[in-house]
């Protein structure tokens, strides 16, 4: 295991100093930009819990393209080349487009979005993401009314991604959302974290983040967004349909077939720290519960 380099810890120190500085001079966080990525606060950011450390966020990862242990993505993704990179938006649209990652990042200014990530395995982190609403990116295409779902595809590159040389999952990694879920303002295109460019192990150059769903719904290193008529089959649904459904909303009342989802372990709090109670929709119910009114969330797990 490589030792953690000093240069990789500084983003967190810089970030915290910058926050204190902004507080001390009494400015609203949104009123100035001190970093290369615009540093804005956001109506949807939640700051009721302690931020997970930069080190934990970037060394404890799930990214099976780079291996299945939590330390594999950090160890195996450092040389991963993310330039040039482009994202294609296609399917049920009038005007399919391919846009470079650079253009996406410059067209849509990123803002700070502090959201909790709750993995289906029963742990969570609070992450100061940088990003913008997916709906803004989707405004680049005019969507036909035949489109009902959005499918995301991660990159397929077994030369660079050692994990893709094994059939752990059906590659490339695929995920999906209903259109109204994709258009919800808290559904985010992530460009960075802790005020810094997104590390490879967290899904550089661009990944999706859906705060109210289990972590696996948030595909990393996306290259394709496809508007489709029918509900897509995600990689996890294909590998184990009994365990992983299409919706996968965080729900303390619906157990995974092999474990309860009522509580979660907070990463960074130590093995002996008490687990905390898992919240419905990961705590974002006020924002998103209306999307599921009248739906049986046990059936539609
Ligand atoms: N392409 C891809 N995206 C992925 C995964 C993956 O293996 N491959 N793992 C998912 C899972 S299970 C989780 S919990 C989150 C983890 O994100 P993080 O490592 O940035 O915390 O990424 C999700 N996105
Ligand atoms: Mo996960």
Ligand 1 pocket, mutate which of 75, 121, 177, 220 (most atoms under 8 A from CB): 220
pLDDT in tens, 114-138: 999 999 999 999 999 999 999 999 9
* Pair 59, 67: CB distance under 8 Å: no
Using alpha carbons, list the distances in angstroms from residue 99 to 31, 95, 108, 206, 255: 29, 12, 12, 12, 40
- Phi first, then psi: what are they for 47, rounded to 5°? -130, 40
- Residue 22: per-residue pLDDT: 57
Q: Is 218 annotated as a binding residue?
A: yes
Q: Are 234 and 246 in contact (CB under 8 A)?
A: yes
d(CA 70, CA 219): 16
Tell which atom from ligand 1 comes closest to the C-alpha of 155. 1
Query: Residue 15 and residue 55: Cα distance in Å, rounded?
Result: 13
Q: How confident is the model at residue 19 (pLDDT cuts 50, 70, 90)?
A: confident
The predicted pLDDT at position 21 comes to 60
Compute, in angstroms, the gap from residue 215 CA to the centroid of ligand 1: 6
Determine the atom of ligand 1 nearest the C-alpha atom of 73. Answer: 19
Query: Residue with the nearest Cα to atom 10 of ligand 1?
Result: 216
Say yes or no to pLDDT of 173 above 50.
Answer: yes
Residue 119 is labelled as binding a ligand: yes
Would you say residue 7 has pLDDT above 50? no
Please answer whether residues 33 and 161 qualify as being in contact, where contact means their C-beta atoms are separated by less than 8 angstroms. no
Mean pLDDT estimate for the chain: 90
- Quick: pLDDT tens for 187-235: 999 999 999 999 999 999 999 999 999 999 999 999 999 999 999 999 9
pLDDT of 20 > 60? The answer is yes
- Which protein residue's CA is at the shortest distance from atom 4 of ligand 1? 219
Residue 16: the pLDDT is 75
**CA–CA distance, 230 with 159 (Å, rounded to integer):** 32
Rounded to the nearest angstrom, the distance between the alpha carbon of 222 and the centre of ligand 2 is 17
Instruction: Say which residue, 93 or 4, is predicted with more confidence.
Output: 93
Instruction: Indicate the burial class of 84 (C-beta count within 10 angstroms; 0-12, 13-18, 19 or more).
Output: exposed
Q: Which of 4-13, 170-179, 183-192, 286-295 has the lowest mean pLDDT?
A: 4-13
Where does 179-241 show beta strands of DSSP type E? Answer: 188-193, 196-197, 207-209, 222-228
State pLDDT tens for residues 27-64.
Answer: 444 333 333 333 444 444 544 579 999 999 999 999 99
Q: Whose alpha carbon is nearest atom 8 of ligand 1? A: 63
Residue 29 has what pLDDT?
42
Res 98 pLDDT > 50: yes
Q: State the ligand closest to the CA atom of 63.
A: 1
Q: Which of 57, 74, 199, 218 to mutate to test the pocket of ligand 1 (most atoms within 8 A of CB)?
A: 218
Say whether 65 counts as a known binding-site residue.
Answer: yes
Q: Which residues line ligand 1 (CB under 6 A)?
A: 61-65, 117, 119, 154, 173, 202-203, 215-216, 218-221
What is the whole-number distance in angstroms between the Cα of residue 124 and the centre of ligand 2?
9
The confidence band for 171, taking pLDDT boundaries of 50, 70 and 90, is very high
Alpha carbon distances (Å) from 214 to 168, 205, 250: 19, 21, 6
The encoded tokens of residue 167 equal 């059939």
Distance 93 CA to ligand 2 centre (A): 31
- Percent of the chain beyond pLDDT 90? 83
Rounded to whole angstroms, the Cα distance separating 9 from 172 reads 32
207: annotated binding-site residue? yes
Identify the burial level of 35 via C-beta atoms within 10 angstroms of its C-beta, where 0-12 means exposed, 13-18 middle and 19 or more buried. Answer: middle
How do 188-193 and 207-209 pair as beta strands? antiparallel
Helix locations, 174-262, DSSP H:
179-183, 235-239
The yes-or-no verdict on residue 80 having pLDDT over 80 is: yes
d(CA 249, CA 114): 19
Q: How far apart are the first and last CA of the chain?
A: 37
For tokens 């109506």, the residue is 43
Q: What is the pLDDT of residue 67?
A: 98
222-228 and 86-91 beta bridge pairing: parallel
| Burial (0-12, 13-18, 19+ Cβ within 10 Å), 192 | buried
- Nearest 10 degrees: CA dihedral of 51, 55, 57, 62? -160
Cis peptide before 245 (omega within 30 of 0): no
Query: Which of the four pLDDT bands, split at 50, 70 and 90, describes residue 15?
Result: confident
> Beta partners for 100?
86
Would you identify the CATH topology of the domain 6-292? Sulfite Oxidase; Chain A, domain 2 (3.90.420)
Task: Give per-residue pLDDT as tens, 227-253.
Answer: 999 999 999 999 999 999 999 999 999
- The confidence band for 9, taking pLDDT boundaries of 50, 70 and 90, is very low
Name the token pair of 142.
């005019």
**How far apart (Å, rounded) are the C-alpha atoms in residues 289 and 4?**
40
Q: Is the pLDDT of residue 25 over 80?
A: no
35 CA → ligand 2 middle, Å: 30
């Amino acid at each position: 295991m490589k030792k953690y380099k000093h240069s990789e810890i500084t983003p967190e120190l810089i970030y915290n100093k910058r926050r204190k500085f902004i507080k001390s001079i009494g400015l609203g966080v949104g009123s100035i930009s001190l970093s290369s990525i615009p540093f804005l606060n956001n109506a949807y950011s939640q700051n009721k819990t302690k931020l997970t450390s930069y080190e934990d966020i970037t060394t404890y990862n799930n990214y099976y393209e780079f291996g299945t242990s939590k330390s594999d993505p950090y160890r195996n993704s450092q040389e991963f080349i993310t330039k040039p990179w482009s994202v294609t938006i296609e399917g049920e649209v009038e005007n399919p487009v391919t846009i470079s990652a650079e253009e996406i990042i410059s067209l849509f200014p990123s803002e700070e979005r502090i959201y909790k990530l709750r993995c289906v395995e029963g742990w969570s982190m609070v992450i100061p993401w940088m990003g913008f609403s997916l709906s803004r990116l989707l405004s680049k295409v005019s969507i036909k009314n035949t489109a009902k779902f959005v499918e995301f595809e991660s990159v397929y590159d077994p030369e660079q991604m050692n994990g893709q040389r094994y059939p752990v999952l059906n590659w490339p990694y695929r995920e999906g959302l209903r259109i109204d879920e994709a258009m919800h303002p808290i559904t985010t295109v992530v460009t960075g974290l802790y005020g810094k460019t997104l590390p490879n192990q967290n899904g550089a150059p661009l990944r999706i983040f859906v705060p109210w769903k289990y972590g696996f719904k948030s595909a990393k290193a996306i290259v394709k967004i496809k508007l489709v008529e029918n509900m897509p089959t995600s990689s996890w649904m294909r590998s184990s349909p009994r365990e992983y459904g299409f919706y996968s909303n965080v729900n303390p009342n619906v157990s995974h077939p092999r474990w309860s989802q009522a509580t979660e372990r907070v990463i960074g709090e130590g093995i002996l720290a008490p687990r905390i109670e898992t919240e419905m929709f990961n705590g974002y119910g006020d924002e998103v519960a209306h999307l599921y009114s009248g739906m049986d969330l046990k059936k539609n797990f």
